[in-house]
Amino acid sequence: MEDHRAVWGPWHVRAEAQRLAREHDVPLTVLSDAVEQVIDLSLNAHSIQLRAADDGAGTALYSSTRILDAEQSLIDRADDFDAPRLPTPLVESAIDSSPVALNEGQQTLVRELATSGQRLQVALAPAGTGKTTAVTALANAWTAAGGNVLGLAPSAAAAQQLGNHLPGACDTLSKYRWTLDHLDRPRPAWWEQVDRRTLVIGDEAAMANTPLLADVIGNLTSRGATVRMLGDDQQLAAIGAGGIVRDLAERHQAPRLDQAVRFQNPEEAAAVAKIRDGNPVGLRFHLANGRVHEGAGTLAYTEMIRAWASDRAAGKDSIMLASTRDDVALLNQLAQRQLMGERYRGRLMQFDDGTQIGAGDRIITRRNDRGLALSRSDWVKNGDRWMVHEVRRDGSLIVTSERNGRRTTLPANYAAEHVQLGYATTIHTAQGLTADTSHTLLTGGESRQQLYTAITRGRGQNHLHCATPAGDALDPAQRATTELLVEIAQRDERPTSARSVLMTVAVNRETRPIPSPPPTAPRQPSSLAR
């Protein structure tokens, strides 16, 4: 459970126990007893109860020692104020010399992150607010003071994007953790450079699970590094235990960016800000400006593909998004049919689900493979998009990267296991991407975080295509599109940390919570030169 969430209830354990039982072909005659035994052991022997069922909420909640220790470790690092503080003249010089002029909010963010002295500091940067421009100025100030910069991110794609701007190496959190576990193996060049002169900039921090963050940041700070994590607690979170980034932000009143700079229309920026906070009033902009479309059944899919194809034909970089893999697969197949028709594409690659890939198709790779090098510092990454030139007889694919134009060959075994059509992708995969326009399929089960992430991908326009139940449009049981959108905007699925649950329980019992020591007073400023 702790690999997937920070807090769980009996129903989570039951669902996982039943899944594992099916996976291991447990006989039906003993299935029920086996599941109950697993639930009992999981909750009573290996979990820590955070909230009893009789605490007023009606459901018991649990966590584990590992999760609680990881959360406390990060709190402790954030409560330390013994990190270097950059001299004001260096910070101002970096701000003034930024190739892209920084707005007032970006300038304030750079100053706070450069001079707080906090060993671990979180900053909140909603989508499209120019965080990359701000942290680039921060990194330049740090290097001007004689330090070095390391960028870390949850995904290889995010690390690559960060590396395009920072004056230093960038890699994944998982690579750092792997290196820590394999110190007897060859290490990346950047590993040896981590010391008290190092500034670590962590991007998309809310997408990293808590134990991973604790392990990596614990090692970094033990080696003297200063850490700055940027993220957005209202975008999609970690696939794993999460919620601690919001706690850290609230505990130390994290600096944040508020002025959206991505959107061409300032009214859209204001509307998106409302949706981010769960205010459905922000939807009025999309409804009033022709950004919301509805269709019964599969009509929504086909209309969405036509709109996306029209954008592409007009020379726009456009992306299609959906919340589930099944919907993405259907959109991919429909889009392929729309674009390719019956045109001959040479040899085709066949997949078990009936999908075919041929020359001219757009595909996406779904696994990092550092062995498939594109250059000395680049490789095939999860989320990369490619254009197929040829399907070879042995099943390998000759492709060109849409990211950098480099051509490579994807081996047959990789292509068979880790390639899919790339006309559409999941909202989760698209986090961090920017395009000219976006088209998102909504079926009603999405969360506010998915909606917010989807409508912040496009600089120019972001369209929502709502699939309503097939049948009579006048059916009184059918929900109106507006109602569907309001429900999604108000469905908050941000993860909750174990620490937050403990504090809430303590407050509800009118006791004074003591989850961790209070922040220490800032120490005397230090510099990189000391």
User: For the residues of 432-445, what is the DSSP string, one character each?
Assistant: T--EEEEEEEE-S-
Of 205, 94, 201, the closest CA to residue 150 belongs to 201
- In this predicted structure, which of 93-107, 191-205, 509-523 has the lowest mean pLDDT? 509-523
pLDDT at residue 511, rounded to an integer: 52
pLDDT digits (tens, 9 = 90+) for 90-139: 999 999 999 999 999 999 999 999 999 999 999 999 888 999 999 999 99
Confidence check: pLDDT of 242 > 90: no
Confidence check: pLDDT of 291 > 90: yes
377 class by beta-carbon count within 10 Å (0-12 exposed, 13-18 middle, 19+ buried): exposed
CB contact burial 199-216 (16+ within 10 A = b; e otherwise): bbbbbbbbbbbbbbbbbb
pLDDT at residue 48, rounded to an integer: 94
Q: Please state, in angstroms and rounded to a whole number, the distance separating the CA atoms of residues 368 and 365.
A: 8
pLDDT at residue 475, rounded to an integer: 46
Residues in the chain: 530
- C-alpha angle with apex 231: 227 to 234, nearest 5 degrees? 150
Cross-strand partners of 458: 435
pLDDT digits (tens, 9 = 90+) for 250-273: 999 999 998 888 888 889 999 999
pLDDT at residue 474, rounded to an integer: 43
**Tally of helices (H runs) and strands (E runs) in the chain:** 19, 21
Tell me the pLDDT band of 472, cut-offs 50, 70 and 90.
Answer: very low
pLDDT digits (tens, 9 = 90+) for 346-372: 788 888 777 889 999 999 999 999 999
Q: What is the DSSP letter of 520?
A: P
Q: What is the DSSP letter of 205?
A: G
Confidence check: pLDDT of 4 > 80: yes
Contacts of 85 (CB under 8 A, 6+ apart): 114, 115, 116, 117, 525, 526, 527
Q: Model pTM? A: 0.86
Tell me the pLDDT band of 179, cut-offs 50, 70 and 90.
Answer: very high
Q: Please state, in angstroms and rounded to a whole number, the distance separating the CA atoms of residues 216 and 383.
A: 24
Mean pLDDT of the chain: 89
pLDDT at residue 233, rounded to an integer: 79
Of 451, 428, 429, the closest CA to residue 440 belongs to 451
| Average pLDDT value for residue range 234-263 | 86
The bridge status of strand 61-63 relative to strand 48-51 is: antiparallel
Q: Which residue has the tokens 């450079």?
A: 193
pLDDT digits (tens, 9 = 90+) for 316-338: 999 999 999 999 999 999 999 88
Helix (H, G, I), strand (E, B) or coil at 252: coil
| Residue 39 near residue 14, CB atoms below 8 Å | yes
pLDDT at residue 528, rounded to an integer: 61
Task: Out of 337-341, 370-374, 524-528, give the one with best mean pLDDT.
Answer: 370-374
| Residue 333 near residue 421, CB atoms below 8 Å | yes
**C-alpha distances in Å from residue 269, one per residue of 128, 293, 440:** 9, 20, 18
Confidence check: pLDDT of 470 > 60: no
